[in-house]
């Protein structure tokens, strides 16, 4: 499958997925959804990929749903937005959260609507200094989707989550970093390189273990302390059987650099 609205490549264990409708600020239409889905399917089924880097082309990251794709002209039948959520946005954020590998998101510019929540479903978010996050939904009578209402209060607290969601004001990348919404702000010109360097570093690490870390941290919001302790026990059991653990211990004992395979 050749892609029209995204760029996709796999190199040295790093899958790079870049949204590529720069003229429309990389907003989602159905075709872009289908292409992203296909690319993520390849990521899931490849035994080469150890890290996914999600970013976008042009000056914006993603402006959410392409509204010109939705017919809400007077007299037209009211659209069922729930259906497009169920068909596209929910599977997308579920996939990003459930992918058994680290997912890095490099937010290169404005991230609005679903585009502001997509990064939050990733594991490590870098943002360009000029980037910003806008929960734009409230301005057109909608509710933050793509996991936003779940992730926001957990990341920045309820007071800030409500202000972001109900005022819809632009949140600068630097403020987002201070609030703990994202991991780190990077100078615009350095963003792509820093994100790639992080991806390449992680691709050389025990990525199976990293996937288990991701699984445990994702589960912690839902679990009680006791359930989480049980989960840690089970995941440690799995991690302890991995080739990478054996290699890590062996390299440590022999004072050499480990060579991890991601298994």
| Closer Cβ to other proteins, 234 or 259, answer by number | 234
Dihedral sign for Cα atoms in the order 208, 108, 191, 154: negative
| HSE value, Cβ hemisphere, 13 Å, CA-based, for 142 | 19
CB of 238 to other proteins, least distance (A): 5
- Whole-number Å distance between alpha carbons of 62 and 125: 14
When binding is defined by CB under 8 A, the residue of 238, 247, 248, 251 that contacts other proteins is 238
Q: Based on CB atoms, which residue is closest to other proteins, 165 or 235?
A: 235
Shortest reach from residue 232's CB to other proteins, in Å:
11
Is 213 an interacting residue with respect to other proteins (CB under 8 A)? no
**Element spanning 11, H or E:** strand 6-11
Task: For other proteins, give the closer residue by CB, 12 or 234.
Answer: 234
Closest CB to other proteins among residues 35, 244 = 244
What is the chain's Cα-based Rg? 19
Using DSSP, state whether 28 is helix, strand or coil: strand
Region near other proteins per CB under 8 A, out of 14-22, 160-168, 181-189, 228-236: 228-236
| Binds other proteins (CB under 8 A): choice among 45, 237, 255, 256 | 237
Contacts of 227-231 with C-beta under 8 Å, sequence gap 24+, read: none
Sequence-distant (≥ 6) Cβ neighbours of residue 23 within 8 angstroms: 58
Least separation in angstroms between CB 251 and other proteins:
25
Chain residues binding other proteins by CB under 8 A are 231, 234-235, 237-238
């Amino acid at each position: 499958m050749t892609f029209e609205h995204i760029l996709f490549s796999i190199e040295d264990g790093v899958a790079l997925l870049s949204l590529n409708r720069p003229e429309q600020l990389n907003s989602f239409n159905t075709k872009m959804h289908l292409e992203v889905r296909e690319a993520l399917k390849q990521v899931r089924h490849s035994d080469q990929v150890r890290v996914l880097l999600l970013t976008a082309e042009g000056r914006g990251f993603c402006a959410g749903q392409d509204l010109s794709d939705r017919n809400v002209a007077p007299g037209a039948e009211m659209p069922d937005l729930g259906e497009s959520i169920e068909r596209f946005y929910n599977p997308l954020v579920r996939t990003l959260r459930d992918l058994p590998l680290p997912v890095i998101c490099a937010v290169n510019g404005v991230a609005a609507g679903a585009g502001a929540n997509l990064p939050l479903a990733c594991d490590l978010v870098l943002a360009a200094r000029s980037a910003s996050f806008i929960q734009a939904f409230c301005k057109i009578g909608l509710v933050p989707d793509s996991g936003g209402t779940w992730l926001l209060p957990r990341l920045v607290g309820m007071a800030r989550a409500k202000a972001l969601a109900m005022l819809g004001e632009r949140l600068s990348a630097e403020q987002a970093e201070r609030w703990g919404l994202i991991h780190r702000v990077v100078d615009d010109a350095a963003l792509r390189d820093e994100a790639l360097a992080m991806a390449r570093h992680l691709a050389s690490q025990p990525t199976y273990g990293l996937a288990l870390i991701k699984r445990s941290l994702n589960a912690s919001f839902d679990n009680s302390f006791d359930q989480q302790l049980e989960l840690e026990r089970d995941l440690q059991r799995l991690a302890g059987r991995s080739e990478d653990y054996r290699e890590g211990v062996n390299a440590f004992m022999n004072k050499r650099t480990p060579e991890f395979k991601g298994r």
